[in-house]
Amino acid sequence: MTREPNFENLLAVLRREVPERPTLFEFFMNGTIYREAAGEGVADENTPAATLRLMIQAFRNLGYDYATAPSYVMDALSFPRGPVDTEQTRSLNQGCPITDRESFDHYDWPDPDSGDYSILDTVAGELPDGMKLVVSGPSGVLENVIALVGYDNLCYLTVDDPELVEEIFAAVGDRLVRFYRNSLAFDTVGAMISNDDWGFKTQTMLPPADMRRYVFPWHKRIVDISHAYAKPVILHSCGKFEEVFDDIVEDMKFDGRHSYEDAIVPVEEAYEKYGDRIAICGGIDVDFICRSTADQVYRRSCAMLERSAGRGGYALGTGNSVPEYVPRENYYAMVRAAVEA
């Protein structure tokens, strides 16, 4: 599936222009696909540098014009929390170390300036010509606050102590802004992903007014900083988004949006309704990919590329990501639709 990377294709998509060829976008895949796509000759070491090299080779071999650089390869920022019963399926109220003013004051806040951002420069010689890194955060503003406070408790606090809620969001948001600012300084970095799930299937996790008060100002700062470096920002956010779409485009000014579900807004509908205002990234529903045949995935992917051909502003990918349970042959069928076009 190999083709020569050219980051200008993704930039064209994010400018809502027509790229030179069909362009792929993915937030992240999984270890099995990374290793399989990277092939032999990539060191299987459990180090940040080796992990990033593996991802670069995998993205490159699959036909992407970039590779994602997740925050953990920089060991740059994480927000410690308490124990949880399980990591993959758990309550949003487990392991939350901040419950009130006292626990907030005693929380050991991380320093985003202590990470090893130099890895973004170290891999410069290993990036193929024309390829860039797209940096993603350690979850986002709302997700980290929920992890620290708990969802139910956060909802109560917005009524009982809104000033404390503002301080918690500021403590998280300021550190994320610093993380992105530190990452933007490197020439290897071509764009950012601000990854923060905002909603359920039927609504945003907080009322839109509270999203505008607590969450959105920090995303606006992230976008503003990235734009100051002339680098675009993609919002990765799951959930229902229509009520806050104007905020995404007009206020925060994201260049692209990723994460679409057929049960909320199918990507075909999103492209027709919103594609003239923001780049549409991915969108081939993960449940559809899991339940369909490889041929069905291929044909829907081809149809989406045909829909956007000549109009621009679209990059093909899954609606969310590629977890281990996605049939690999179905994922590869989607990729093949772009690479063989």
- DSSP per-residue string spanning 115-149: S-TTHHHHGGGGSPTT-EEEEE-SS-HHHHHHHHH
> Smallest Cα–Cα separation from 37: which of 241, 250, 332, 293?
332
Q: Which residues contact 243 (CB under 8 A, 6 or more apart)?
A: 203, 204, 208
Amino acid letter at 214?
Y
pTM above threshold 0.85:
yes
For residues 233 and 222, the answer to whether their CB atoms sit within 8 Å is yes
What's the Cα-to-Cα distance from 203 to each of 197, 198, 262, 286, 293, rounded to whole Å? 12, 9, 15, 20, 31
Q: Residue 292's pLDDT is what?
A: 98
CATH code (residue 31): 3.20.20.210
Reported as a pLDDT band with limits 50, 70 and 90, residue 93 is confident
54 dihedral zone (left: phi>0; alpha: psi -120 to 50; beta): alpha
Whether 327 is covered by a domain: the verdict is yes
Reported as a pLDDT band with limits 50, 70 and 90, residue 157 is very high
Weakest-pLDDT range from 75-89, 109-123, 300-314: 75-89
Q: What 3-state DSSP class applies to 23? A: coil
Q: Which residues contact 184 (CB under 8 A, 6 or more apart)?
A: 135, 192, 225, 226, 229, 231
Whether 75 is covered by a domain: the verdict is yes
Range of the domain at 307: 7-339
Whether 2 is covered by a domain: the verdict is no
> DSSP letters of 299-337?
HHHHHHHHHHTTT--EEB-BSS---TTS-HHHHHHHHHH
Q: What 3-state DSSP class applies to 68? A: strand
If you average pLDDT over every residue of the chain, what do you get?
95
pLDDT exceeds cutoff 70 at 43 = no
For residues 79 and 138, the answer to whether their CB atoms sit within 8 Å is yes
- Determine the average pLDDT of the residues in 177-191: 97
For residues 59 and 25, the answer to whether their CB atoms sit within 8 Å is no
Whether 52 is covered by a domain: the verdict is yes
For residues 269 and 3, the answer to whether their CB atoms sit within 8 Å is no
Q: Residue 86's pLDDT is what?
A: 66
Q: What is the pLDDT of residues 245-283, one digit of tens each?
A: 999 999 999 999 999 999 999 999 999 999 999 999 999
Whether 208 is covered by a domain: the verdict is yes
- Determine the average pLDDT of the residues in 220-240: 98
Q: Residue 90's pLDDT is what?
A: 66
Residue 245 CB: number of other CB atoms within 10 A? 16
Whether 1 is covered by a domain: the verdict is no
Q: Which residues are paired to 189 by β-bridges?
A: 133
Whether 77 is covered by a domain: the verdict is yes
Q: Please count the structural domains in the chain.
A: 1
- Determine the average pLDDT of the residues in 152-169: 97
Tokens representing 184? 């933007």
Q: What 3-state DSSP class applies to 153? A: helix
Reported as a pLDDT band with limits 50, 70 and 90, residue 199 is very high
